[in-house]
Amino acid sequence: MPTIKFIFWTIFCTGLATWLTRITPFVLLKKFTLPPAVIEFLNFVPITIMAALWFQQIFIQQSGQLPAIDYLNLCASLPTVISAVISKNLLVIVVVGIISAAFFNIVL
């Protein structure tokens, strides 16, 4: 185990790095205005980032070759998507997701 001093510095430095990552755009864009082309680009951030965060979970990375399929997450995704279409309610979707994952964890 690393020394407590090393752990302290790790938490301090990584904390500072994540904080700066999050606030720098807010601080800079208070002074500068983004060109319309950039704003148009950023309009696509929500759907691409949410899709990417999801799809990353249905594959398992294997270095140097195509990923394997994470069948548990893939199977659990199906009832989750269906519940989204039917309910359009985030709480219902999350609960269905949790139950499906627990179910497929037993079955698969």
Partner 1 sequence: MYAELTRRSAWHDVLPTVLGYIGIGVAFGIVSRAAGLSILVTLATSTFVYAGSAQFVLVTMLVEHSPLLSIVLSVFLVNARMMLMSTTLSTYFKQEPLWKNILLGTFLTDESFALGMNKLNYTDRKLNFTWFNTVNLASYLTWIVGTALGAMLGSLITDPTKFGFGFAVTAMFIGLLYLQIISDKTISLKLQLTIILFVLILTYFGMAFIPGNLLILVVTLLGCALGVILKHAHN
Write out the binding residues for partner 1, residues 51-80 only, by CB under 8 A. Answer: 51-57, 59, 61-62, 64-67, 72-73, 76-77, 80
CA distance 15 to 27: 18
CA distance 45 to 75: 26
Least distance to partner 1, CB of residue 3, Å: 11
* Contact between residue 73 and residue 58 where contact means Cβ atoms under 8 Å apart: yes
Q: Which of residues 12-41 bind partner 1 (CB under 8 A)?
A: 12-15, 17-19, 21-27, 29-30, 33-34, 37, 39-41
Beta bridge partners of 47: none
6 binds partner 1 (CB under 8 A): yes
